[in-house]
Amino acid sequence: MTTLTSIRHDATHASRPVLLPRIAAWAALRRQRRQLAALDACALNDIGVTLNEARAEANRPFWDVPSVWRC
């Protein structure tokens, strides 16, 4: 019985460190998309992004992360 309790306790603590960095990454992505939406046409041209591409990216939900983030 003690072993099962220890295993559950360890599993709970193991999942917590994963959650906080993920939330921080989502917040950063949301912030970046807001900043992208605020750029004018000249700034977008400087970074090689069209207005339509910027709008499409900025309108994606925060959980719709870049494909390189997925496992």
Count up the domains in the chain and report the number.
1
* Domain assignment of residue 4, yes or no: no
* Domain assignment of residue 48, yes or no: yes
Q: pLDDT by residue for the chain (71 residues), tens digit each?
A: 555 555 555 555 555 678 898 899 899 999 999 999 999 999 999 999 999 999 999 999 988 887 777 76
* Domain assignment of residue 14, yes or no: no
* Domain assignment of residue 10, yes or no: no
Domain housing 33: 21-63
Q: Which long-range contacts (CB under 8 A, 24 or more apart) does 39-47 make?
A: none
* Domain assignment of residue 54, yes or no: yes
Instruction: Give yes or no for a contact between 37 and 58, defined as CB atoms under 8 angstroms apart.
Output: yes
pLDDT confidence of residue 7: 53
Q: How far is CA 48 from the centre of its chain?
A: 22
